Amino acid sequence: MSLSDSLPEYDSDRALVFGTVAILLGLAIAVTPVTVTIPGDLYVFFEVGILFVVYGILVLGLDLQYGHTGLVNFGHVVFFAAGAYTMAMLSAVDSFEGIALGYPWPVGLVAAVVVAGLLGALVGATSLRLRGDFLAIATLATAEIFHTLFINFTDIFGGSTGIFGVPTPLGDLAGTRDATLVTTLLVLGGLTALTFAVVARLTEAPYGRVLRAIRADELVTRSVGKSTFRYKMQAFVYGAALAGLAGAIFAMYQGAISPDFFELQVTVTIWIGMLLGGASNHRAVLGGLGIIMGLRLFSRFVQGSAPVTTGEFASIRLILVGLVLILVIRYRPAGIWGDDRELEVDS
Amino acid sequence: MVRNSGGAVNRRTFLKISGAGSIAATAGCLGLGGGGGGGAVTFGQPAAQTGQWDFLQPGVSKATDVAVQGINDAGGLLGRELVLERSDTAVNPQQARTVVTQLTENEDAIALLGLFSSELEPLYDFLQEQQAPVITPWPGSNFLDTRGGDHGTPDDLSDDEWIWRTVISDTVHTAGAALRALDQGHDTIGIINGTTSGARSWANGFMSAYEGNGGTVAAQVEVAQGESNYQAALDRLFGNDFSAFAVSLPLEDAITLLSDWSDGGYGRQPILSDPLAQNDLADQVGSDLNGAWAASPGESGPSYSTFESAYQSGEGDAEINAWTPPAWDATQVTALAVERAGEATAEAIEQNLGPVSRGPGTEVANFAEGKKALDNGEEIKYMGAATPVTFTQFGNVVGSVVINEIQNGQFSQVETIPAEDLREFVPEGEY
Amino acid sequence: MGLVQNLIFGLVTGSYIAIAAIGFTLIYGIVDMINFAYGEYITVGSFIGLLSASALPLPLPIAVLVAMAGGGIASLLLAKLFFTPINHTGPIPMLLTSIGLGLVLRNAIRLVAGRNARYYDTETTTWQFQNVPDLSVGSVDLLGGFFVTSQQLVVVGCALSVFLVLHAVLTRTDVGIAMRAMSDDEALARVRGIDTQFIRNSVWVLAGMLAGLTGVLLGMQTNVSVTTGFSQILQILSAAILGGAGSPYGAIAGAYVIGVVLALSTAFLPTGMTGISSAIAFVILIAVLLVKPSGIAGQEVRKA
């Protein structure tokens, strides 16, 4: 039997294996006295790669909410921020502004997931009984409210400055810059793969079938006796909790957070990546996210040779992004890799 | 039931071709990015070409380009051409991180001539790891008052914090405004400010200097950006008793706010934060604003006229603002550090920024003069356009502050507050 | 802190929002979509108005009419290009398309017009009424001195005329009555022989005209730039939902509630918290969704 035959068959199992191996490998590299070096030219790819895997957890959570359950969450960044801020406020040491309690980082991590999940429950309670676009508005409004709160309460949240001094356990373990980059990418990538495994396991099960039924036609699903509100709430909270996890590990990678890391742009990027790749297909949404982020990185390299100024280039890039969104919805609503079924979320 | 996508290019083929093409193109760019050795020397400039401060970037870009041109006309750095790579960060720390990595690793920049407070602060530890000197004209935040520079030991790199700024800290230049307000007999004051970090930083610096010298702040009202009118906030502020009020907001919101103030006939003496010393403000608000003043740093350095004449002969018509002369200074002093060091590396720059800026030595106003003096074997002291650029141990500068007052609808200089008066606000060892 | 003064401010702010909210909510009720690009319609209107007023130059009232016409045409064109072809796909894809369209329009405007803000040339007169007694209750002055500016009167006047004209259109014209019928129940309206696509097109034009008017008024009050309309979109949205999505009368009520609450919250929030007053609109929105999602007008909200 070749190696590929002995690998597990289901996506979720494969991802589980891959994720565990990646994390162990990453940690091994961190603790080993053997030095790792990577050429300086590749640093930027590692950094964007790390950001990609963090956003990857975000998009998987969003896909659970929208792709599988049909919930339109336009404030996903607020759960990301809630996780990051909880992590930072609980475990940072000696921040220039804001609260920094200095607890050990595992405490912050668990709290981040819990807080984000609770926030998800709260937001869900307001709008999950209503039609889909109301949820979009409620989530957007929540994101705006929290953004304003973070900026205005300097003593608590650090205001426009943010919170510094967040522990960076991977960086401390690894030591050198090269090793930190490799370790972080492997460990965080592994976490993303584990998230993939969990989410895929959930949606491959009968549970996932109920979610998709709700997305297709909630009335029918309810008439079959399923408490649709409960399922929707669960999917929403899981997605929010995953975003909280992403926020916590993001904070631990950066070592400091500020409101500028959690702007509407993050939500837009995640959404376009998800729709472009193909909502409801876990691998597809990661692929779509990769394309969007890859294009942005690529555009940085070529902007010097383009015959327009950088300001114009940035505007052109955003116009193209908007057009991609419009065209995908119109001509290929299932995305590049998605199923050829229309994704209708309102009956 | 799989619908045939009919007519469209086969999806897999399309993806394969575009994927391969992108990888090839990127690899090509990577290859081009490398190279160096005896070739050109690169400085990187993280820029605000999009984002909320982008109206200030054209002046800074022009000042930098004009300085680079002058350097190359004088023979270049150590005889090699100086190239400036500019990259947009949109004043966002996430993008700034990518830009910094790309400039230092892929473009081989040996110094970075930009970065804002909101980027420097969250990325502070990251920048320390980079070990590339950052000489920036932007950040006024008091976070950097006790961080940065070489801690007074140029040769010893182990205690260096790598961040230098050629603009005066908000803590210092707002003291100029506070002093003048008190001089003019305004013992009580009201403050209205925005919630951006720059607006708050100015307001906090002003308040601490003002109260520290015996003034009383009667009321402070914070407002959000982008509102359609600020009447309610003004009404709240002016319900209090004071003879002057300070405004610290982004320019367009300030225009809206002060137009509302003018409409409401509230009167009293307006004091403006330094980014507001733009003639657009005077134009749009009208004659009610005559007599309003701002304390502008960075317009009265010893070699300001050298800068100004070079700037005016450059391309484009970007207006000079408070960050334009510091951008010129940043470029000049970094180039001089390279020239003195005799080698074009990040460490060499870090070790020589102190010596070329602190003196003693022949006073020079730009790279050409400095190069000549160095070739003669002399030590040099760079005298800047914004300030004398005498870097403190934390990489900060002090300079005089010019009071710009609106007269007949235009800003004109009426007074200069010397650096010595401002120095006492930042005791030795704390700046 | 005179209550009267703050009520005046609230009414003025409410008027801007009301005019725009009517257009927004009509789109919601009849085309059945949330149009996130509506802010850009406002921006386009303010640019057209500015160009006519300064470049041509036309007197300001004519420029306003040109802006309204331009807004209506632009709105119809954009609808035909982007929204009408996907009408059948449902509100979510249309919502997402409008977000993409907003992104495209904002950056296209930026490319063409640049980043700098431009200004209308206006003169404002102020009338002061400072001799009114204070009538204090605790720390709050029920009356107190106040002032009114000519610009404020123009805004409120425009809003009132819009409301009257709208009421007339909705109750006395065939198109208006058909709009109300469609907003209530589209299938039934079609059964009655109403050409639903024609009515939708009319709504786009009407909403575009209202956006154009709002754009000029906003531009006069602040400035004309890429973000003129975008900065108000969330308040417009909140007003429409608060009033009962789909009901123009509700939108008017909701807009004034939001305007007055904004003014009062700036006046009475504790020091140090005044910066969050702009988020109050969103808090109201969430509260409405929690308590009474059908809004002030009691519009039936289809449950999922």
d(CA C101, CA C104): 5
pLDDT band at C259 (very low <50, low <70, confident <90, very high): very high
pLDDT greater than 50 at residue B334:
yes
pLDDT greater than 90 at residue A342:
no
pLDDT greater than 50 at residue A346:
no
Buried b (16+ CB within 10 A) or exposed e, B277-303: bbebbbebbeebbeebbbbbbbbbbbb
Residues above pLDDT 90, as percent of chain C: 42
pLDDT greater than 90 at residue B279:
no
The minimal CB distance from A43 to the residues B34, B105, B123 is found for: B105
Strands (E), chain C: 126-129, 136-137, 140-141, 146-149
d(CA A189, CA A186): 5
pLDDT greater than 90 at residue C76:
yes
d(CA B60, CA B138): 10
Which residues are CB-contacts of C112 (< 8 A; sequence separation ≥ 6)? none
Q: Dump pLDDT digits (tens) for C101-156.
A: 999 999 999 889 887 788 887 778 888 877 777 777 766 777 777 888 888 999 99
pLDDT band at B110 (very low <50, low <70, confident <90, very high): very high
The minimal CB distance from C9 to the residues B226, B231, B284 is found for: B231
Q: How far is A197 from chain C (nearest CA, A)?
A: 28
The minimal CB distance from B284 to the residues C119, C262, C278 is found for: C119
Interchain contact, C278 vs B228, CB within 8 Å? no
- Chain A residue numbers with beta carbons less than 8 Å from the beta carbon of B86 are 310
The sign of the dihedral angle between the CA atoms of A261, A267, A268, A273 is: positive
Under a CB-based contact definition with an 8 Å cutoff, are residues B219 and C271 in contact? yes
Distances (CA, A) of B20 to A33, A52, A300, C145: 37, 20, 18, 72
Q: What torsion do the CA atoms of C214, C215, C220, C225 make, to the nearest 10 degrees?
A: 150
Phi, psi of B315 (to 5 degrees): -75, 155
The per-residue pLDDT for B36 is 44
The per-residue pLDDT for C131 is 74
Lowest mean pLDDT among A52-56, A109-113, A184-188, B194-198: B194-198
Q: How far is C201 from chain A (nearest CA, A)?
A: 20
Q: Burial, C96: exposed, middle or buried (Cβ in 10 Å; 0-12, 13-18, 19+)?
A: buried
Q: Dump pLDDT digits (tens) for C35-67.
A: 999 999 999 999 999 988 887 777 888 899 999
Interchain contact, B122 vs A151, CB within 8 Å? no
Q: Report helix, strand or coil for C216.
A: helix
Mean pLDDT for B178-191 is: 93
Under a CB-based contact definition with an 8 Å cutoff, are residues B49 and B318 in contact? no
The sign of the dihedral angle between the CA atoms of B257, B258, B262, B264 is: positive
> Hey, what amino acid is at B1?
M
Phi, psi of B3 (to 5 degrees): -75, 135
Interchain contact, C9 vs B226, CB within 8 Å? no
Query: CA neighbours within 13 Å on the CB side: how many for B131?
Result: 11
Mean pLDDT for C59-79 is: 93
Under a CB-based contact definition with an 8 Å cutoff, are residues A267 and A74 in contact? yes
d(CA B419, CA B195): 29
Q: Report helix, strand or coil for A6.
A: helix
B362-364 and B380-382 beta bridge pairing: parallel
- Chain A residue numbers with beta carbons less than 8 Å from the beta carbon of B99 are 300
d(CA A49, CA A36): 18
C92 → chain A, closest CA residue:
A133
Which residues are CB-contacts of B20 (< 8 A; sequence separation ≥ 6)? none
Interchain contact, B143 vs A161, CB within 8 Å? yes
Q: Chain B neighbours among C 101-160 (CB < 8 Å)?
A: 115-117, 119, 124, 126, 128, 147, 149, 151
Does A341 or A282 have the greater pLDDT score?
A282
Q: How far is B194 from chain C (nearest CA, A)?
A: 8
d(CA B50, CA A265): 14
Interchain contact, B98 vs A148, CB within 8 Å? no
Interchain contact, B224 vs A148, CB within 8 Å? yes
Q: For the residues of A110-178, what is the DSSP string, one character each?
A: HHHHHHHHHHHHHHHHHHTTB-HHHHHHHHHHHHHHHHHHHHH-HHHH-TTT-EE----HHHHHH-SHH
Residues in chain A: 347
Q: Which of B49, B225, B228, B248 to mutate to test binding with chain C, by most C CBs within 10 Å of its CB?
A: B228
Host H or E run for residue A295: helix A282-302
pLDDT band at B198 (very low <50, low <70, confident <90, very high): confident
The minimal CB distance from C302 to the residues A131, A149, A275 is found for: A131
Q: Which of C54, C125, C223 to mutate to test binding with chain B, by most B CBs within 10 Å of its CB?
A: C223
Average pLDDT, chain B: 86
Q: Which of C222, C258, C262 to mutate to test binding with chain B, by most B CBs within 10 Å of its CB?
A: C222
User: Closest Cα partner for B263 from C228, C151, C259, C15?
Assistant: C151
Host H or E run for residue C201: helix C196-221
Q: For the residues of B213-233, what is the DSSP string, one character each?
A: TT-EEEEEEEE-TT-S--HHH
Interchain contact, A312 vs C111, CB within 8 Å? yes
Q: How far is A220 from chain C (nearest CA, A)?
A: 11
pLDDT greater than 90 at residue B81:
yes
Beta bridge partners of B44: B85, B112
**Chains with ≥3 Cβ pairs under 8 A against B?**
A, C
pLDDT band at A114 (very low <50, low <70, confident <90, very high): very high
Q: Which tokens hold the place of B48?
A: 């605000």
Residue listed under structure tokens 């306003």: C64
Interchain contact, C103 vs A137, CB within 8 Å? no
Q: Which tokens hold the place of B423?
A: 């120095």
Distances (CA, A) of C145 to A79, C149, C150: 46, 14, 17
The per-residue pLDDT for B27 is 47
Q: Dump pLDDT digits (tens) for B8-21.
A: 444 555 555 555 55
Q: Dump pLDDT digits (tens) for B32-47.
A: 444 445 688 999 999 9
The 3-class secondary structure across B278-340, one letter per residue, is CHHHHHHHCHHHCCCEEEEECCCCCCHHHHHHHHHCCCCCCCCCCCHHHHHHHHHHHHHHHHH
- Chain B residue numbers with beta carbons less than 8 Å from the beta carbon of A278 are none
DSSP label of B112: B
The per-residue pLDDT for B2 is 41
Interchain contact, A314 vs B90, CB within 8 Å? yes
Distances (CA, A) of B77 to B163, B334, C9: 22, 10, 60
Q: Chain B neighbours among C 257-296 (CB < 8 Å)?
A: 262-264, 266-267, 271-272, 274-279
Q: How far is C271 from chain A (nearest CA, A)?
A: 12
- Chain A residue numbers with beta carbons less than 8 Å from the beta carbon of B222 are 152
Mean pLDDT for B343-358 is: 91
pLDDT band at C300 (very low <50, low <70, confident <90, very high): low
Interchain contact, C100 vs A72, CB within 8 Å? no
Interchain contact, B235 vs C1, CB within 8 Å? yes
Mean pLDDT for B101-108 is: 90
pLDDT greater than 70 at residue B233:
yes
Q: Which tokens hold the place of C283?
A: 């808090």
The per-residue pLDDT for B290 is 92
Q: Which tokens hold the place of A112?
A: 């981040």
Q: Dump pLDDT digits (tens) for B401-411.
A: 899 999 988 89
Does C22 or C181 have the greater pLDDT score?
C22
Mean pLDDT for B346-369 is: 90
Q: How far is A107 from chain C (nearest CA, A)?
A: 31
Q: Dump pLDDT digits (tens) for A169-218.
A: 888 888 788 888 888 999 999 999 999 999 998 888 888 888 888 888 88
Q: Which tokens hold the place of A200?
A: 């895929």
Which residues are CB-contacts of A343 (< 8 A; sequence separation ≥ 6)? A67, A70, A215, A279, A280, A333, A334
The minimal CB distance from C218 to the residues B228, B231, B235 is found for: B228
pLDDT greater than 70 at residue B200:
yes
- Chain C residue numbers with beta carbons less than 8 Å from the beta carbon of B228 are 13, 16, 218, 221-222, 231-232
Interchain contact, B26 vs A301, CB within 8 Å? yes
Under a CB-based contact definition with an 8 Å cutoff, are residues B281 and B255 in contact? yes
A333 → chain C, closest CA residue:
C93
The per-residue pLDDT for A58 is 96
The 3-class secondary structure across C225-254, one letter per residue, is CCCCCHHHHHHHHHHHHHHCCCCHHHHHHH
User: Closest Cα partner for A123 from A3, A5, A240, A285?
Assistant: A240
The per-residue pLDDT for C161 is 94
Mean pLDDT for C243-263 is: 91
The per-residue pLDDT for C68 is 95
DSSP label of C224: B
